């Protein structure tokens, strides 16, 4: 989550805040999993985790109400490439109206149909255009992930607040007529002084208040149920989950089901693993992100031996190379994508990397490799400063693979032990023309190009 140039009261606040990681992401024993499976069956959607997620926006996408239609025009090709879900930016009306990226929420039920906060449409378009986009995505088998911002609100009117000892902008009377809020619904209030964290001085929702819980997930027309049942969203990306206890998104998700992932911005894998277990959902794998940054920006692939969430809890790890908040892996970025698209976890693609900055053919090839070959557990075969080799051991109808990442300036070759005896293999990236036959003892020599990678599996 990031907020730029938002007007709060009479004071202009400028933020550049970075808060925003296949095997299946869903735990089959949870109620939310069964709910999602029913949705998948009824809508003929691809199971989430069978492909990759597309982050369908970047910071400061063009204003003017065109973005929903831009994405609508891309979902068919994304689906054909192997994407199974799209993550949209916060879709409801925010304080900055037509200029807001949505991370300063005002009216959770205004998707571009009410004239308030200076505009009718949101930055991204109208409610009808959003509904059309979601329908087009569903018709192409894609789940649609909503970005849920429930830590803080913005745009309220000034009211006298004895709990804060001053007047505060905590009186919310949205035109939708739903989820009106006052000083009793934010921190501090008559019962609770604070929770896990405030953001940027904005009014901080008090999730322990029954009224807030009712409107967020308990009522028949709660935010959660309106998003799912009326707007037809299929899952949830929870913003800035450090700002509230993990039971909050857990209860939200239990009320409606669906895939869910939290933005717990922390490279400490112990903390990430604690959070996913408490919240009972996935998290973005910042542990993996920072290790890849060290490996590829620091030109030392030994960093890939470090701890990551996918190594602890692969079914709860959403891996990524960049997003709308952070894009530090500039050098050798395609090598980072080769890493997450061949390893465990549920990989997410960043819109600008796919559409604007990197070789789309190479990314499509890696998506195909992920969806068709990358099954089973992971075994490290070799790691040093310039070379990294690992194998996926196969499973779930997939043969597995061996990925060879070469960060040096020359071709590299190594003997590796495969899971295949006396079988011909090939490089599915096309970088190498070799088609060797593994020895009876399953050993074989493979190669990788300079500043490149190869991915080997049965021919």
Residue 132 falls inside a structural domain: yes
Which of 321, 356, 372 terminates a domain? The answer is: 372
- Indicate which residues carry an active-site annotation: 239, 263
Q: Please indicate, yes or no, if residue 28 is contained in any of the structural domains.
A: yes
Any domain includes 197: yes
pLDDT at 197: 87
Considering the domain boundaries, does residue 1 fall inside one?
no
Same domain, yes or no: 87 and 214? yes
For residue 321, being part of any structural domain is answered with: yes
The answer to whether 312 touches 339, Cβ cutoff 8 Å, is no
Q: Which of 345, 372, 399 is the last residue of a domain?
A: 372
Q: Is position 122 within any domain?
A: yes
Whole-structure pTM over 0.85, yes or no?
yes
Q: What is the CATH number of the domain that holds 242?
A: 3.20.20.80
Nearest Cα neighbor of 53 from 15, 81, 18, 94 is 81
Q: Which residues pair with 8 in a beta bridge?
A: 11
Residues 135 and 278 in one domain: yes
Residues 156, 224 within the same domain = yes
Neighbours of 270 (CB within 10 A): 12
Q: Which pLDDT value is given to residue 123?
A: 98
**Residue 102 corresponds to which tokens in the numbers above?**
């949505």
177 and 147, same structural domain?
A: yes
- CA-CA distance, 418 to 388, in Å (whole number)? 15
Please indicate, yes or no, whether residues 385 and 346 belong to a single structural domain of this protein: no
**Domain with 153 in it:** 6-372
Token pair listed for 410: 């020359």
Residue 386 annotated as binding? Answer: yes
Distance CA 169, CA 136 (A): 39
Strand, coil or helix: 267 = coil
Please give the Cα distance from 162 to 254 (Å, whole number). Answer: 35
Vertex 32, ends 196 and 150: CA angle to 5°? 30
> Could you read off the pLDDT of 363-393 as tens digits, one per residue?
999 999 999 999 999 999 999 999 999 999 9
Q: Do 368 and 259 lie in a common domain? A: yes
Residues 29 and 117 in one domain: yes
Asked if 362 and 398 sit in the same domain, the reply is no
Helices assigned H by DSSP within 209-344: 210-213, 223-225, 247-256, 269-279, 286-292, 309-313, 333-340
Q: At what angle do helices 269-279 and 247-256 cross, to 10 degrees?
A: 40
3-state secondary structure of 38: helix
Read off the CATH number of the domain in which 425 is found: 2.60.40.1180
- Same domain for 388 and 419, yes or no, is yes
| Structural domain count, the chain | 2
Q: Are residues 389 and 297 located together in one domain of the fold?
A: no
Given a cut of 50, the residues of the chain with pLDDT beneath it are 4-42
Residue that is last in its domain, among 372, 397, 424: 372
144 and 129 in one domain?
yes
Whether residue 416 sits in one domain with residue 292: no
């Amino acid at each position: 989550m990031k907020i730029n140039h938002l007007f709060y009261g009479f004071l202009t606040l400028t933020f550049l805040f970075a808060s925003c990681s296949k095997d299946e992401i869903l735990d089959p024993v949870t109620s939310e999993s069964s709910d999602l499976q029913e949705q998948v069956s009824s809508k003929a959607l691809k199971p989430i985790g069978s492909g990759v997620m597309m982050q369908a926006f970047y910071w400061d996408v063009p204003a003017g109400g065109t973005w929903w239609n831009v994405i609508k025009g891309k979902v068919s090709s994304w689906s054909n490439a192997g994407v199974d879900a799209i993550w949209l930016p916060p879709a409801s009306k925010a304080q900055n109206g037509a200029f807001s990226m949505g991370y300063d929420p005002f009216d959770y039920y205004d998707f571009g149909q009410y004239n308030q906060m200076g505009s009718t449409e949101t930055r991204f378009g109208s409610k009808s255009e959003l509904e059309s986009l979601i329908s087009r995505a569903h018709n192409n088998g894609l789940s649609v992930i909503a970005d849920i911002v429930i830590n803080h609100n913005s745009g309220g009117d000034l009211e006298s607040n004895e709990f804060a000892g001053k007047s505060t902008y905590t009186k919310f009377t949205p035109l939708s007529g739903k989820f009106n809020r006052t000083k009793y619904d934010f921190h501090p209030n008559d019962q609770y002084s604070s929770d896990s964290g405030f953001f940027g001085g904005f009014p901080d929702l008090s999730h322990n208040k029954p009224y807030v819980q009712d409107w967020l997930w308990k009522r028949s027309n709660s935010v959660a149920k309106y998003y799912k049942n009326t707007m037809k969203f299929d899952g949830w990306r929870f913003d800035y989950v450090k700002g509230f206890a993990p039971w909050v998104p857990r209860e939200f998700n239990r009320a409606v089901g669906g895939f869910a992932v939290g933005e717990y911005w922390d490279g400490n894998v112990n903390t990430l693993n604690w959070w996913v277990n408490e919240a009972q959902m996935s998290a973005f794998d910042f542990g993996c992100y920072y290790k890849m940054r060290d490996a590829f920006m620091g030109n030392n692939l030994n960093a890939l031996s470090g701890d990551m969430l996918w190594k602890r809890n692969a079914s709860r790890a959403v891996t990524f190379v960049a997003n709308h908040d952070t894009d530090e892996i500039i050098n050798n970025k395609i090598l980072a994508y080769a890493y997450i698209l061949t390893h465990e976890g549920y990989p997410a693609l960043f819109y600008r990397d796919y559409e604007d900055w990197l070789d789309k053919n190479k990314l499509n090839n890696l998506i195909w490799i992920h969806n068709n070959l990358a099954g089973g557990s992971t075994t490290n075969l070799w790691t040093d400063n310039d070379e990294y080799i690992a194998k996926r051991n196969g499973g779930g109808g997939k043969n597995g693979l061996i990925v060879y990442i070469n960060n040096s300036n020359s071709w590299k070759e190594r003997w590796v032990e495969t899971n295949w005896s006396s079988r011909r293999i090939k490089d599915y990236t096309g970088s190498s023309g070799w088609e060797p036959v593994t020895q009876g003892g399953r050993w074989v020599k493979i190669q990788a190009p300079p500043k490149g990678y190869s991915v080997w599996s049965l021919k």
